[in-house]
Amino acid sequence: MSQLKIPVQTVHSGILQENAVMLGEKSMKRLKIPAHGTIQLTFGSFRQEVTVIPVPKSDSLRVSEGLARRLGLRQRLTLNASYSSGSRNLRLGPLIGVLVSRDHPEHPDRVFGQITMFCRELTNACHAQGAYVYFFTPEALETRSTTIQGWVYDEGWRKLSLPVADVINNRLTTRKVENKPSVQHFLADVKSRYGTHFFNEKFLDKTEVFEALAQDPALQRYLPESHALNGFAILKKMCSNYPSVFLKPVRGSLGKGILRISKEDGGYRLLSTTPLGTRKQSYPSLTKLFGSIAPKMKTTRYQIQQGLPLMELGRRPVDFRALVQKNGTGKWGVTSIVARTAGSNHFVSNLARGGTLSTVREAIGKSNLPPGAKESSQVQLPRAALAIARGVETYIPAHFGELGIDLALDQSGRIWLLEVNSKPSKNDNTPLNDQKIRPSVKQMILYCRYLAGL
């Protein structure tokens, strides 16, 4: 199969019919496409038989306005092209779809709210790599159709009718939307009908992750003791085994709703996260404390986890967010790791809770770790993140292309897993040097190209 990048141009329908394309002779030779024959043109789910008209001294592909409209192409683009002589198939792309929770057509500069700049960045990166990306919401899936109403960026955001993409990245931010019948039906349908690849296909919950990874003896060393909080007995057992424990909402994110329980003189202290800081409450007994949190357990499932004496910077706990992504050969790699230090009034490090970012080297260098642990942990953190990503892939039956893996170092330098996030924020893991197109965005497109074979 031959492959190259080809500029795609639109010409007036009067010059060229929809069932014909003009292709530069140079490109035809390199792709080994026979002159004046018919081939199948493929772009995402779009397929059409076309006659190829050779054009001397040109390297571009020219299509009629009508055909460009059906392809969803508005501006001049350069796309990857591959030709298979066996199936006489000329494929363009890949066509990448990003499923986002909502759009705001009334705000043309911020159509996708906080992730609008990420969407622009992804568009620019696709142009550079010969791919084409559009963004769509679950509302676009309510009607049964072979095309999708999606947003593309072309000197402003425009909504077009587009083919189903070769690869879809799930960026939905709530389980409720992800589990809508229209979304689940669409995904099952396009996988079977067009062979569409769909990655980061579901949220992970904390209990599921820890139970899955516990099956692997090599990963058990990273796992703090962790159980579903199903009553007073497990709380009593964990509090007798450890000086402190954490209660984490099984389906929580951004540090919301986390509780920390620790022993204090003659009783117990409960710390809870609030937008304004940490709320402290004292109880004379564990029974009384449990009585205060029992109403929350009726609406929220919690995981109870062994408290860890975390590495600190200026008496503030530090943890690490590793962004682990599949690369252009389908293998896991660590794209970035940043250190996150808790805000002054918080015991969790999330940026949404006032945490601050620094490099791993800087945080470990200034920390209270023993000198030997400072050296080894910088090597061991990425190794642990990779091993955990492979474990998630092995033991959880779903397709993931990127994972946010939260790790911690205790004060002896031992690495622990805190959480795995299948929808890593596009702001939270930003490397500290501000580049135009982040490595994480380039890596995502390379993986899409790998999946699509383009």
Mean pLDDT of 267-286: 86
d(CA 332, CA 163): 29
Question: pLDDT tens digit string along 14-40?
Answer: 888 889 999 999 999 999 998 878 999
Q: CA nearest 55: which of 81, 27, 82?
A: 27
Angle formed by the axes of helices 206-213 and 371-395, to 10°? 100
151 φ/ψ angles, rounded to the nearest 5 degrees: -95, 135
For 228-256, write each residue's pLDDT tens digit.
Answer: 999 999 999 999 999 999 998 887 665 67
CA gap 68, 6 in Å, rounded: 15
C-alpha span between 90 and 92 (Å, rounded): 7
pLDDT over threshold 50, residue 113 = yes
pLDDT at 320 over 60: yes
The rounded distance, in Å, linking the Cα atoms of 255 and 248 is 8
**DSSP 8-state symbol, 175:** H
User: Under 8 Å CB-to-CB from 199, ≥6 apart: which residues?
Assistant: 167, 168, 169, 170, 326, 399, 400, 401, 402, 447, 451
Q: How far is CA 210 from the centre of its chain?
A: 20
Cα–Cα distances (Å) from 364 to 357, 375, 384, in that order, read: 13, 9, 16
**Residue 205 scores a pLDDT above 50:** yes
Joined tokens for residue 22: 């003009």
What is the predicted pLDDT for the residue at 432?
Answer: 44
Helices 116-129 and 439-452 pack at an angle, to 10 degrees, of: 60
CATH of range 225-306; options 3.30.1490, 1.10.287, 3.30.1330, 3.90.1150? 3.30.1490
Task: Write the class of the CATH domain 95-199.
Answer: alpha beta
Six token digits for residue 194: 């067009």
What is the CATH code for 310-422?
3.30.470.20
**Dist CA 327 CA 230 (whole Å):** 40
Q: Does 310-422 match 2-93 at the fold level?
A: no
Question: Which letter, b or e, does each residue of 406-424 get, where b requires 16 or more Cβ atoms within 10 Å of its Cβ?
Answer: bbbbeeebbbbbbbbbbbb
Going through 44-93 in order, the beta strands assigned E by DSSP cover 46-55, 61-64, 77-84, 89-93
Arithmetic mean of pLDDT over the chain: 89
- Phi-psi region for residue 255, left (φ > 0), alpha (ψ -120 to 50) or beta? left
Q: With the CA atoms of 86, 90, 93 and 97 taken in that order, what torsion angle do they form, in degrees rounded to the nearest 10?
A: -80
Q: Which two tokens stand for residue 274?
A: 């609030």
Is the per-residue pLDDT at 404 higher than 70?
Answer: yes
Please give the Cα distance from 162 to 148 (Å, whole number).
5
In the structure, what pLDDT confidence band is assigned to residue 354 with cuts at 50, 70 and 90? Answer: low
Q: What pTM did the predictor assign? A: 0.90
Domain parsing of the chain, residue ranges: 2-93, 95-199, 225-306, 310-422
CA distance 200 to 324: 12
Look at residue 2 in the predicted model and tell me its pLDDT: 63
Alpha carbon distances (Å) from 203 to 85, 96, 177, 388, 433: 41, 21, 11, 16, 29
Smallest CA-to-CA distance from 440 within 352, 343, 311, 333 is with: 333
Mean pLDDT of 291-310: 90
Q: Which long-range contacts (CB under 8 A, 24 or more apart) does 181-185 make?
A: 182/138, 182/141, 182/142, 183/99, 183/138, 183/141, 185/141
Q: Thinking of the domain 2-93, which architecture would CATH place it in?
A: Beta Barrel (2.40)
Average pLDDT for residues 174-191, to the nearest whole number?
91
Closest CA to 5 of 59, 85, 48, 86: 59
Cβ pair 38, 105 in contact under 8 A: no
Quick one: pLDDT at residue 134? 97
